[in-house]
Amino acid sequence: MANDLHYLERLAEQYPTISKASAEIINLQSVLDLPKGTEHFMSDIHGEYEAFSHVLRNGSGAVRKKIDDVFGHTLGSREKCALATLIYYPKERIVMARKSEPDLENWYQVSLYRLIELCKAVASKYTRAKVRKALPEDFAYIIEELISEKSEVLDKEAYYDSIVQTIIELRQAEDFIVAMAALIQRLVVDHLHIIGDIYDRGPGPHLIMDRLCDYHSLDIQWGNHDILWLGAAAGHPACIANVIRICLRYGNLDILEDGYGINMLPLATFALSAYADDPCGQFKLRGQNALNKEESAVAIKMHKAITVIQFKLEGQLILSEPENGMSDRLLLDKIDWDKGTVTVEGMEYALLDTTFPTVDPADPYKLTDQEADVIERLQNAFRGCARLQKHRALLLRVGGLYKIYNNNLLYHGCVPMDENGDLQEVTIYGRPCKGKALYDVLDTYVRRAFNSLDPLDRERGGNVMWYLWNAPFSPLFGRSKMATFERYLLAEKETHKEEKNPYYTHLEDPKTADTILASFGMDKPNAHIINGHMPVRQLNGENPVKCGGRILVIDGGFSRAYHKETGIAGYTLIYNSYGLTLTAHEPFESTEAAVSEEKDIVSRRVAVQKSRERLMVGDTDAGAKMRVRIAELKELIDVYRAGAIPEK
């Protein structure tokens, strides 16, 4: 009782009177009866900023659906497209209107009225207090006047006409349109979930992270590529080498140099010296890039230099922690330098490249002095990059290995399983664990890499991030090995094969979802798993809905590199008060086409799970917390009335 009274005394500081506690109860109770906010799920964006930005702006079709709901048959298809484009790209559309509209003032007026009507609709499912917090500061009062029902105003049309006309006369129409468009985008989606892999392959992960830093409400489930960048931000040498290698491989050095301001000159200088006469034919760049012939030649040498450094650093890690079961990845010491071959899993293969001037056959995993100097300089650059550290802070603050949110379990890769479909036990620094416990232990070690005062804990945390990137047990990787060495240096395709964790073979077994959900304490029949990481190959007839609808895989290949394999450009998921809607998207052409030709991403619904009854805030996690607070406030009122705590 003493503890309860102590807590209520603390609560009384927030609600010092019966009337204030009662008012909060009334407010919370009214919120419980509002429709559930819309959740937007995206996965495996892989640096494709333009496509990501567009899907974020259109809310995976949520904006267009609201336009259809509000304007029905009163607007034609072309007018609806124009209004949608105005909401997605208001500044760009205004520039076009200045050039093309014969009566610009009329265009302002029509656009403002349509935006006001739409804004009323999207704001109706929120309390006035929540809408007020979302309002842009400069126009907050005016917008609130326009979207609020004012029963005391007899001639509402004249009232609104007066406000709109004044906005136009004061030459504030353009800024007001931009503010209204942003508000609609803000209110259409209440919360954003990113199910991993913001980084790598595409050219704009830093731009995506900038955008997410300013997003109103989100969580992020780390993907294997994100955890690699987190490790690099911590200064972990093997993670840094992998990050740089991947940027070079896909011709995305601009991400490091221009996006994050990381000086690559030390690596370039070393590569030109160490591999001066080496054509580095196995290290040519992939994808489209803007490098000229001379720049490409330098980048190829840098690519080889950092790859060799990576092999050495990873070898050192594997040798220092043999309990992690990655000894099969020790391949530099399996090279026969005289024959130009390497032994992999008991088989001898000819190497496609035998020029390794920095590798000492007697001690192949030792860095040369020059390599060690390069890595030290890069560690300092990654740790000292303010923009990267800002992005790292966001990933730690709103991110994690998994998330339980409104009866959905969100994670990027897989929950490691054995051949029988049982949870696979993994030992992490002497601690055996599986399922949720495995995720929790790994998540803790990641955070220790940044927050612990113990040097050993920080070192282990950094190592865990590298293991999460490519270890067999990793829930983010989910494969038997990462065949980087083989893909670069061996022609035989069978050596490139990476066996998937048995999790993926059990995805169609309903027991799989039950086993996983039970491990995470979620045994409700309507619970779902939202999964990213493995592109769904729609071209081959693969279905993103697994386990009888309990598991939804939403990686459809945002990255352009996957489009030929998947046949689409990504899945996204919307969860609103009416249920779940999984949508497949066609490739995004360009922002320019989206603005000038009013081209939206072509999307189609591939799965819909409607709720039997419309979901309210009271049905959500937030609603459960509100009910707890209501009960606490009622108890506080009882204590006030009993005289145990005086009102202030």
| Collapsed DSSP state (helix, strand, coil) of residue 304 | helix
Query: Are residues 278 and 347 located together in one domain of the fold?
Result: yes
* C-alpha dihedral, 162 to 165 to 169 to 174, nearest 10°: 130
Query: Are residues 281 and 333 located together in one domain of the fold?
Result: yes
* Per-residue pLDDT reduced to its tens digit, 46-90: 999 998 998 899 888 889 889 999 999 899 999 999 999 999 999
Please, which pLDDT band fits residue 425 given cuts at 50, 70 and 90? very high
In angstroms, the CA 129 to CA 216 distance is: 15
Last residue of a domain, one of 329, 358, 383: 383
* Residue whose token pair is 């896909």: 250
Read off the DSSP letter of residue 601.
P
Query: Are residues 131 and 248 located together in one domain of the fold?
Result: no
In angstroms, the CA 86 to CA 625 distance is: 38
Note whether residue 447 is domain-resident: no
Note whether residue 406 is domain-resident: no
**Residue of 138, 325, 306 lying closest to 237 (CA atoms):** 306
In angstroms, the CA 91 to CA 586 distance is: 25
Note whether residue 632 is domain-resident: yes
Query: Are residues 230 and 348 located together in one domain of the fold?
Result: yes
Query: Are residues 632 and 556 located together in one domain of the fold?
Result: no
pLDDT for 559 = 62
Number of structural domains (the chain) is 3
Residue 119 — φ and ψ, nearest 5°? -65, -35
Note whether residue 507 is domain-resident: no
pLDDT for 612 = 84
In angstroms, the CA 353 to CA 135 distance is: 60
In angstroms, the CA 394 to CA 206 distance is: 12
Note whether residue 419 is domain-resident: no
Query: Are residues 183 and 238 located together in one domain of the fold?
Result: no
Query: Are residues 50 and 100 located together in one domain of the fold?
Result: yes
**Residue of 266, 276, 272 lying closest to 377 (CA atoms):** 266
Query: Are residues 315 and 378 located together in one domain of the fold?
Result: yes
CB 557 within 8 A of CB 566: yes
Residue 395 — φ and ψ, nearest 5°? -60, -35
Query: Are residues 295 and 359 located together in one domain of the fold?
Result: yes
CB 506 within 8 A of CB 545: no
Note whether residue 200 is domain-resident: no
Note whether residue 318 is domain-resident: yes
Query: Are residues 271 and 375 located together in one domain of the fold?
Result: yes
Which residues constitute the domain of residue 86? 39-195+532-615
What's this model's pTM, rounded to 2 decimal places? 0.93
Query: Are residues 63 and 184 located together in one domain of the fold?
Result: yes
Pairing of strands 431-433, 426-428: antiparallel
- Helices and strands in the chain, H and E counts: 26, 17
The continuous run of DSSP H or E covering 606 comes out as: strand 603-610
* Per-residue pLDDT reduced to its tens digit, 588-611: 777 888 787 777 766 667 667 888
Note whether residue 458 is domain-resident: no
Last residue of a domain, one of 344, 360, 383: 383
Last residue of a domain, one of 351, 383, 415: 383
Helix axis angle, 237-249 to 369-383, nearest 10° = 90
* Per-residue pLDDT reduced to its tens digit, 343-379: 999 999 999 999 999 999 999 999 999 999 999 999 9
In angstroms, the CA 20 to CA 297 distance is: 71
Query: Are residues 610 and 635 located together in one domain of the fold?
Result: no
Residue with the larger pLDDT of the pair 367 and 565: 367
